[in-house]
Amino acid sequence: MMRAPDFRYYAARSVRDAAAALEDGGNAAMLLAGGTDLVPNMKRRTQTPALVIGLRGIGELRGVRAGGGGGGGGGGRRAGGLTLGACTTLAEVAAAPAVGRRYRALALAAGQVATPQLRNMGTLGGNLCLDTRCTYYDQSEEWRRAINWCMKAPGSNGGHACGTPDGASLCWVATSSPRCWAVSSTDTAPALIALGATVTLARVAGRRRLPLEKLYRDDGMAYLTREPGEILTAVHLPAAAGWRSTYWKLRRRGSFDFPVLGVAAAVRFATGGAVADARVVLGAVASRPLVVPEAATLAGSRLTDEAIEPVAEAAAALATPLDNTDFALAWRKKMVRHYVAGALRELRDTPS
Amino acid sequence: MSGASPPSPPSRRAVVGRRVRKVDGFKLVTGRTAFTDDIALPGLLVGRILASPHAHARIRDIDTRRAKALPGVHAVLTWKDVPRVPHTTAGQAWPEPSPYDTYLLDSKVRFVGDRVAAVAAETRAVAEEALRLIEVDWEVLPPVLDMEHAMDPGTAVIHDEPDATGIRDAARNLAGDIHTHIGDVEAGFRESDLILEREYRTPRQQHAMLEPHIVICWLDADNRLVIRTSTQIPFHVRRQVAMILRIPVSRIRVIKPRIGGGFGGKQEMVLEDLCAALTLASGRPVKLEYSRHEEFFMARTRHPQILRLRMGVKRDGTIVAHHMRVLAATGAYGSHCTTVQGNTGSKVLPLYRAPHLRFDCDVVYLTTPQAGAFRGYGCPQGYFAQESLVDEIAHELGMDPIAFRLKNAIRQGDVDELSAQLGEGKKGLPRTIRSCGLPECLEKGAAAIGWKEQRNGGVRRPGRLLRGVGVATTMQGSGIAGVDFAGAFLKANEDGSFNLQVGATDLGTGSDTVLAQIAAETLGVSLDKILIYSSDTDFTPFDVGAYASSTTIISGGAVKKAAEKVRDDMCCFAAQLLDAPPEDLVCRDNRVFAPGGKSVSMAEVAVHALYKEKTQVMEGASHFNTDSPPPFCATFAEVEVDTETGRVRPVHLVTAVDLGVAINPMQAEGQAEGAVAQGLGYALAEELVLDGRGRPANANFCDYKIFTAKDMPKLTTILVETEEPLGPFGAKSIAEVGINGVAPAVANAAFDATGLRFRRLPIRPDAVLAALGGRR
């Protein structure tokens, strides 16, 4: 059995308390909510915080409340919508009636993360901040030492195994690349982006709110725009009147597996049945969730196969799967088109 | 002595044939201490292995001074510190038919994960720190990763050491080869109306047993070496460790607690030698175990194979000739190399009674993880190929695949001569079929899957989701004829209970329960009166171990003989109490009955024997067979193929299996269902992937995809009971046969749904989609 290295654990009592500890801890500190991502990484030594700040005891971070949806652009305050505490478990999110009724994509995405046991521990905020994944990264320390590390996890004492090239500054997925190609593997982020979610980040100096989409960067290492000292505290969903949404997850098995493709689709229908607004977001085909801009072309259509096809095509063109997850990459790229088309057809064919 | 009771008819049996609960079930589900790791020893050290980062390299020099100097480190071993004794890790009866090409530690490494050094330290953290302090000067050699080029001139030689023995041709990386035939296949092909030749490929599958390999060693008060280990082969381990460490067998005691699964992966001495060496070097108890990660590539795998089959048939569907050529990779070492591959021929080809059979096989070394024994032992590979080809031929001839199989399949009274040529490492014994329920398996399985209604016919119909059904027929053995043997020992206690001591090893198969049932039935006592213990080389009789589907028939045979002797002894003492001739007495319901109905309890008989006659009733017996009766199986699959994604989803799996008499039908069904789960993984998902340098890419349960409960289709298991004369109470075996037909049944069902053949396992969606034409 692999075991985590020694670390100090601080059980924070409030967001303010946690933020202060995080600021004090600097680079050596990390946050722990459910622990289902961080703890395995600690065992593999890909993340080795000396200080772990536990958020589990902070009541204000848990639960689903009506209101607070607002709108990132400074619309009406507390105008409808839903606010989810970042430490609400994925099981709670999936089962919340308010989520299932109006934000189906989120319920589907949260309900398909990993396994029931992990969803009982894992949290919404944790899934949004999930470490990016890669064949060359999610390996034991011995394995990574044997390949002489990689740029995302360059090893504690640098590479010195002879006979192998220096990997500590390389991305083994694309060895000539200056960047890391680890894959964004969160299920809930594509769903929430499609639903127009915003998030609150808190630090000692104050809070800020930003569209969830802006939380991510297309970089396998610095994949979050979260700044040092910031804690993701809440997710806000705007009012959902007229919207229908869904989430399709591609993985090998019916349980356990991270997505090798996630497709979230949300469509608002105008009275009369034409599409007023549509969003499609892809997961697990890049280092960040990818918004498919061509979804906007669905506006005015009746979601016919003819209207859907170019959007599915564009989504497939946008996706950049690489050879660092399960399944052959060419096949994964092909699947983008089928899953996008399938998700949109489902929204057309399912009565609200 | 008495011949006592005549064989009881099945309906009268009180314990055999009943769905009794596992005798160890309660302790397992309540988490009692049962397993190797479940003891606490004062002063226990933790052992860790420094694994090779290179697929192929020589250790020019290795410096352990810094590691040895680390506080808390008690032993550091490299090849310089241990005896160099060529051996095989294969857990096989002596003399093992596998090459002696392995060393406790060597100055050369032959796969990523091979042993470089070992450390014993007070904590795991210290042990791992010590590993980091070992400095190795490597001479990296070219890896050999492609079995199709392993024998090419100029390829690096993996076993260039001079002292290995039993290797067929080390200079060509050829570990072993097999060439055998019956009749003349070329003449057979000339007589054939239709000849098909096809190639099939199978992957490296990992056992993925729940409990990884683990060993705890210590020196007892008499300075004897005690090895507590999770193994299928305690007696082979004792012999092997004695040889490797050059200590007498009498100085070693092997204890096998309850095992958390093996599937053949523990028919192998994997860690015992090194753990024992660390104990001898440190004088302290040492625990050595694989992490799950290590288990995937530092233990064993199934042999990957490339099979080329050529079959000739008459227009009426009679198979005339069949030539099977196999290229297999044994990985870095040759344990089980020719025996597994021998089985690919000997337990597969004779299923169909063709007059002309030929089997040619090369097993090559690669600088890859070591292959070994694995449930099915060469048959899953062979049957995937044979049953796919047979299906294709039936289709070409316009025959129903079931009718084609029934026309050609071996049947009761037949003698399989190929087995005589392919014994375990030597000439074997011909196999006579004394029981065969295959026709009934096919009939009942077909009804359960809805063969007539569900068949699509191998044509591509419109629509996104296509369904089809497929079938495969298979057989296996029940023990190795003339090789496997076992002892059993029974003694009576004064309360009418009996201690049953066996060397057999229950690795989750339920053999402790089955053997206790056989003893209880024979003695006429209830199951709770049998106290089974397995196994400890100091206290239980010899048993070759749990492999080759042998335990019920071989160990069970020994138990039955011993129990019959004890029953006769008890009748002799009961005769004194009942005033009746012993041969007229009948044992049942924990009592001994005289003809008039007068009876005494077993407890009374035992008390009388012990305290009055001053005799401990105790008997031992040994058992072996000169034949290996095959269980037969018909596996049916219904699958759904998604033409947009290429995914093949199993919908319904039916296993109809002739296992002889089921000693415990509930456990037998469990075995069949477990085999289907492992077989579906083999068919559709499982493969240990190596990168271009021979490193495992998916050595964890996240990325290595075994089927989960959510992925399992509807299962139907049908036990077709036949009476096998060589088995205890008519039993044959069930442990392995069920896995053989799953992959070909799925592939044949996929053909039925789409009209496309898939000849490479696992059947991957990208390959299916490409074959479907990758529409759009």
Query: Chain A residue closest to B295 (CA)?
Result: A1
Nearest to B161 by CA among B98, B99, B238, B89: B99
Q: Write the CB contacts of B648 (distance below 8 Å, at least 6 apart in sequence).
A: B639, B640, B641, B642, B684, B746, B750, B763, B765, B768
For B710, the closest of A143, A255, A330 (CB atoms) is A255
- Tell me which residue of A59, A129, A42 sits closest to A9, measured CA to CA: A42
Determine phi and psi for B528, rounding to 5 degrees: -70, -10
pLDDT tens per residue across span B328-365: 999 999 999 999 999 999 999 999 999 999 999 999 99
Q: How confident is the model at residue A79, as a pLDDT?
A: 61
The pLDDT confidence band at residue B446, using thresholds 50, 70 and 90, is: very high
Within 8 A of A46 by CB-CB distance, chain B residues are none
**Per-residue pLDDT tens digits for A151-191:** 999 876 544 444 445 678 899 999 899 999 999 999 999 99
Check the CA dihedral A144-A147-A148-A153 and report its sign: negative
What does the block give as tokens for B615? Answer: 């005799």
Copy the structure tokens of residue B388: 């796919």
Q: What angle do CA A93, B700, B117 make, to 5 degrees?
A: 145
Give, in order, the Cα–Cα distances in Å from B141 to each of B59, B80, B146, B330, B693. Answer: 10, 21, 15, 19, 11
Which residues in chain B are contacts of A335 at CB distance < 8 A? 645
| Interface contact flag, B702 A258, Cβ < 8 Å | yes
User: Got the DSSP string for B164-199?
Assistant: -BS-SBGGGTEEEEEEEEES-HHHHHHH-SEEEEEE
Q: CA B114 to CA B78: how far, in whole Å?
A: 12
Chain B residue with Cα closest to A136? B697
pLDDT for residue A68: 84
- Geometric angle at alpha carbon B273, from B270 and B278, rounded to 5°: 125
Q: Which residues contact B65 (CB under 8 A, 6 or more apart)?
A: none
CATH architecture of the domain with range B45-141+212-259+266-298: Alpha-Beta Complex (3.90)
Return the CATH architecture of domain B10-34+485-624. 2-Layer Sandwich (3.30)
Q: Which two tokens stand for residue A325?
A: 């997850």
Whether A221 contacts A180, CB under 8 Å: yes
Residue B245 and residue B81: Cα distance in Å, rounded?
11
CA distance B702 to chain A (A): 7
- Buried/exposed code over A108-143 (b: 16+ C-beta within 10 A; e: otherwise): bbbbbbbeeebbebbbbbbbbbbbbbbbbbbbbbbb
Decide: residue A101, CB within 10 A, 0-12 exposed, 13-18 middle, 19+ buried.
exposed
Task: Give the span between the Cα atoms of B595 and B247, in whole angstroms.
Answer: 57
Q: What is the DSSP letter of B738?
A: H
What tokens does B541 get? 């009789």
Short-list B448, B552, B574, CA closest to B506: B552
Q: Chain A contact for B702, CB < 8 A?
A: yes
Total Cβ atoms within 10 A of residue A292: 25
pLDDT at residue A29 tops 60? yes
Please give the pLDDT value at position B88: 98
On whether the CB atoms of residues B348 and B382 are closer than 8 A, the answer is yes
**A interface mutation test: which of B36, B643, B644 has the most A CBs within 10 A?**
B644
- What Rg value do the Cα atoms of chain A yield, rounded? 20
Say what the pLDDT of residue A2 is.
Answer: 75
pLDDT level of residue B717 (50, 70, 90 thresholds): very high
Using N-to-C axis directions, what is the helix angle for A305-318 and A329-349, rounded to 10°? 150
Neighboring chain B residues of A147 at a CB cutoff of 8 Å: 695
B261 touches B507 (CB < 8 A): yes
Mutant choice from B131, B291, B707 vs A, greatest count of A C-beta within 10 A: B291
Give the pLDDT score at B547.
92
Which phi-psi region, left, alpha or beta, contains residue B173 (left: φ > 0; alpha: ψ -120 to 50)?
Answer: left
**Partner-chain contact B292 A1, CB within 8 Å:** yes
Would you state the pLDDT for residue B9?
A: 63
Of B699, B708, B776, which is closest to A256 when you measure between CB atoms?
B708
| Angstroms from B388 CA to nearest CA on chain A | 25
User: For residue B4, is pLDDT > 80?
Assistant: no
Work out the percent of chain B whose per-residue pLDDT is above 90.
Answer: 95
Sign of the CA dihedral running B85, B86, B92, B97: negative
Distance between CA B361 and CA B180 in Å, rounded?
A: 9
Which residues in chain B have Cβ-Cβ distances shorter than 8 Å to A251? none
Please give, rounded to a whole number of angstroms, the shortest distance from the CA of A167 to a CA of chain B: 14
- The stretch B506-523 carries a mean pLDDT of 96
Q: How far apart are CA B93 and CA B507, in angstroms?
A: 19
Distance from CA of A334 to the nearest CA of B (A): 8
- The Cα diameter of chain B in Å comes to 90
Size of interface A-B (CB pairs under 8 A): 77
Mean pLDDT, rounded, of chain B: 96
Label residues B186-208 b or e (16+ Cβ within 10 Å = b). eebbeebeebeebebebbbbbbb
B774 and A334 in contact by Cβ < 8 A?
A: yes
Judged by CB atoms closer than 8 Å, whether chains meet at A331 and B685 is answered as no
Q: State both tokens at B265.
A: 């992966």
Instruction: Closest CB to B140: pick one of A3, A163, A337.
Output: A163
Given this model, what pLDDT does residue A273 score? 87
Q: Do domains B45-141+212-259+266-298 and B305-480+627-771 have the same CATH topology?
A: no
Q: Do A252 and B685 count as a contact with CB atoms less than 8 A apart?
A: yes
- Burial of A54 (C-beta count, 10 Å sphere; 0-12/13-18/19+): middle
Contact present, A280 and A292 (Cβ < 8 Å): yes
| Alpha-carbon distance B511 to nearest alpha carbon in chain A (angstroms) | 28
Nearest CA of chain A to the CA of B53: how many Å?
5
Of A3, A253, A337, the CB nearest to B705: A253
Beta bridge partners of B115: B51
Strand order in the sheet with B225-229: B73-77, B115-121, B45-51, B286-289, B214-219, B225-229, B252-255
Global ipTM: 0.91
CA-based nearest residue to A289, from A206, A224, A203: A224
Rounded distance, CA A316 to CA A332, Å? 9
Q: What is the pLDDT of residue B10?
A: 66
Q: Per-domain residue ranges for chain B?
A: 10-34+485-624, 45-141+212-259+266-298, 305-480+627-771
Do residue A146 and residue B112 have CB atoms under 8 angstroms apart? yes
Q: Is the pLDDT of residue B718 over 50?
A: yes
Q: What phi, psi does B243 have (nearest 5°)?
A: -70, -45
Tell me, what amino acid is at B443? E
B753 falls in which pLDDT band (50, 70, 90)? very high
- B529-549 burial code (b ≥16 CB/10 A, e <16): bbebebbbbeebbbbbbbbbb
- A36-42 long-range contacts (CB < 8 A, ≥24 apart) are A36/A114, A36/A118, A36/A121, A36/A122, A36/A126, A37/A122, A37/A126, A37/A129, A37/A130, A37/A131, A38/A126, A38/A131, A39/A4, A41/A131, A42/A4, A42/A5, A42/A7
Cα B395 from Cα B379, distance rounded (Å): 23
The confidence score (pLDDT) of residue B122 equals: 98
> 3-class SS at A179?
coil
Of chain A, the percentage scoring pLDDT greater than 90 comes to 83
pLDDT digits (tens, 9 = 90+) for B600-623: 999 999 999 999 999 999 999 999
Q: What distance in Å separates the CA atoms of residue B167 and residue B160, rounded to the nearest whole number?
A: 11
Length of chain B in terms of residues written: 776
Determine which helix (DSSP H) or strand (DSSP E) holds B345, and give its type and residue range.
helix B337-346
Please state, in angstroms and as integers, the Cα–Cα distance from residue A142 to each residue in A305, A332, B124, B195, B292, following that order. Answer: 50, 30, 14, 51, 13
What's the pLDDT score for residue B425?
A: 56
Q: What is the CA radius of gyration of chain B?
A: 27
CA atoms within 13 A of residue B328's CA, in its CB half-sphere: 38
- A203-to-A22, A224, B430 alpha-carbon distances in Å: 9, 16, 80
Burial B735-745 (b: 16+ CB within 10 A, else e): bbbbbbbbbbb
The whole-number pLDDT of residue B423 equals: 66
Sequence-distant (6+) residues with CB within 8 A of B770 are B646
Side chain identity, residue B338: T
Q: Which CATH architecture has domain B305-480+627-771?
A: 2-Layer Sandwich (3.30)
Residue whose pair of structure tokens reads 């007589």 in the numeric block: B191
3-state secondary structure of B389: helix
Tokens of B478: 């029940």
- Closest chain B residue by Cα to residue A332: B766
Q: Is B358 left (phi over 0), alpha (psi -120 to 50) or beta?
A: beta
- Which residues face A310 on adjacent strands? none
For B52, the closest chain A residue by CA position comes to A146
